[in-house]
Structure 1
Amino acid sequence: MANEKKITCLLVDDEPPALEILKKYVAAVAALEFSGTCNNAVEALNILQTRNIDLLFLDIQMPQLLGTDLIRTLKKPPRVIFTTAHRKFAIEGYELDAIDYLLKPISFERFLKAVNKVLDNLPPPGPPPPDGAQSAAAGSPNAASFQRVEPSRSLDPFLHLRAERKTIQVALDDILYVESIRDYVKVVTRNRTIVSKQSISSLEEFLPREAFIRIHRSYIVSLSKIESYTHDLVEIGRQQLPISRMYRLDVEKILQRRPG
């Protein structure tokens, strides 16, 4: 009983920030067991041929081999949850009998919804195995072993940024706003500015949605740091940041709901 079988998970994505957030999400769910990460589908294929993996969190658009093509090469693929920034792959993902399809940036609540689908799809427990078969049966998880999981609060109060040839830990509460500059992001805090090579969308995955809001294709701001706003911009300190038409309606709804 003490050693209940967990669902072993392999995370496959060519973007390190995406792997990091999935790793944190997996670690927060007792029913899941982290079994490693891969930066491409070919590496994942080698692991799947040698290790028992119950569940793949699999990006679709990767170099060398697409995630969907990886699944087509497997005679008995594990359960799959596709992760991608591209909505156009959804139909193809479901045609391959994926459990779910997560569109980046992935919130923890949406992640848990997908995990619950996995738990709901586990086979029901059969009759108790004979004594001799007990050890073999222990290798297959079933629905009786797990309970559905519910969302928790923020998993990590820090953002971890790769910059200046090191990893810099930044408290989420210190962040004023994030700006996209081509292939880089500029994270502006109370007392410093950090430039890291990654996309603003991948960074957005690490930011709790109740504390940060996307106001523009190039800007994410901390809700608690907004001092004033108009129809077209928000003001944080001396900085005025534009609200684009695409995000305006959602921004206004959220700002109007803020207490005080």
Structure 2
Amino acid sequence: MKLRCVAIDDEPLALSLITQYVAQFSKLELLQTFNDAIEGAEFLANNSVDLLFIDINMPDITGLELVENLSIKPMIIFTTAHKKFALDGFELEAMDYLLKPIPFDRFSRAVIKAIDYFDLKNNVKTESPQYLFVRSEYKMVKIAVADIDYIEGLVDYVKIHLLNSTRPILSLMTMKAVLEKLPSEQFSRIHRSFIVPNMNVKAILNKKAELISGKSIPISSSNQDFIDEWMKQSFTNR
């Protein structure tokens, strides 16, 4: 399945470059390009689009305003010559932010993230996702589900601790939101502040889950059912 793409930029040379870059990816189908933002907005309102490349600084309406007013938002990759717009772009949950002049390798990394995310969304009903996508430090981060040691909740943030890494990934999201992104049969919330991969629990002692990494995670009284489920899984997998 190809990603249906549209590019909007008031600079013809920028549109030409994006057209050339998109042509290098068999997974992408460029439906249309627009140098007029209003015409582009009308097309988006009447057509199904998966990925939008859009300049931020345009006359009549900015790329930020256009995206903000879309009733159905595709994945967004902003392109601009101005770094100052980066934060605003990510507040609109952009997939990535490319600074002009855009080198192909940087464009490629942004597109691969979009393709991976697209495939994840379309395969979620048939198979367990292998990757978790979160926003951290103004960029979209791809995390292999198998690399997660445990997840810790900190008010409005989550800390995703990884195996073989001393630096956790910090993301502005709730525990409920991150749990919904994970395969339910592989992860459990055992405490209001902790989510663990079931297979990484090697022992349970004194209402604490001992992980293969050596970390000890408390199991709250409201999540005691996890102990029974873990024991059943452990017995079944012998």
TM-score by length of 1: 0.47
Are the aligned partners of 1:90 and 1:101 in contact in 2 as well (CA < 8 Å)? yes
Are the aligned partners of 2:3 and 2:115 in contact in 1 as well (CA < 8 Å)? no
In 1, distance between residues paired with 2:74 and 2:124? Answer: 20
Matching residue's letter, 1:46: E
User: What does residue 100 of structure 1 align with?
Assistant: 96
Unpaired stretches in structure 1, ≥5 consecutive residues? 129-141, 144-260
In 1, distance between residues paired with 2:81 and 2:22? Answer: 20
Aligned to 2:114, what secondary structure does the other structure show?
helix
| Residue from 31, 36, 51 that aligns with 2:32 | 36
Matching residue's letter, 1:17: L
| Residue from 49, 58, 71 that aligns with 1:53 | 49
Aligned to 1:62, what secondary structure does the other structure show?
coil
What root-mean-square deviation, in Å, do the aligned CA atoms of Structure 1 and Structure 2 show?
Answer: 1.9
User: What does residue 193 of structure 2 align with?
Assistant: none
Please state how far the C-alpha of 1:120 moved relative to its aligned partner: 2.6
TM-score by length of 2: 0.51
2:127 is aligned with 1:125: no
User: What does residue 105 of structure 2 align with?
Assistant: 109
User: What does residue 12 of structure 2 align with?
Assistant: 16
| Residue from 68, 75, 95 that aligns with 2:71 | 75
Q: Which has the higher contact order (CA 8 A, sep 6+)?
A: 1
Distance 1:66 1:125, change over 3 A: same
Displaced runs of 4 or more, over 3 A: none
User: What does residue 21 of structure 2 align with?
Assistant: 25
Matching residue's letter, 1:25: Y
In 1, distance between residues paired with 2:77 and 2:13? Answer: 18
Distance 1:127 1:69, change over 3 A: closer
In 1, distance between residues paired with 2:122 and 2:33? Answer: 29
Matching residue's letter, 1:49: A
Matching residue's letter, 1:6: K
What CA deviation, in whole Å up to 9, does each residue of 1:126-184 have, x standing for no partner? 446xxxxxxxxxxxxx99xxxxxxxxxxxxxxxxxxxxxxxxxxxxxxxxxxxxxxxxx
In 2, distance between residues paired with 1:91 and 1:51? Answer: 28
Matching residue's letter, 1:92: D
In 1, distance between residues paired with 2:18 and 2:106? Answer: 12
Please state how far the C-alpha of 1:40 moved relative to its aligned partner: 2.4
2:62 is aligned with 1:66: yes
Matching residue's letter, 1:114: A
Are the aligned partners of 1:40 and 1:65 in contact in 2 as well (CA < 8 Å)? no
What CA deviation, in whole Å up to 9, does each residue of 1:50-78 have, x standing for no partner? 11111000000001000000011112211
Matching residue's letter, 1:125: N
How many aligned positions are there?
A: 127
Within-5 A mapping of 1:82-231: 82-122=78-118, 123=121, 125-127=123-125
In 2, distance between residues paired with 1:84 and 1:106? Answer: 9
Please state how far the C-alpha of 1:18 moved relative to its aligned partner: 0.4
Matching residue's letter, 1:39: N
User: What does residue 139 of structure 1 align with?
Assistant: none
User: What does residue 209 of structure 2 align with?
Assistant: none
Of all paired residues, the percent bearing the same amino acid is: 45
Unpaired stretches in structure 2, ≥5 consecutive residues? 131-238
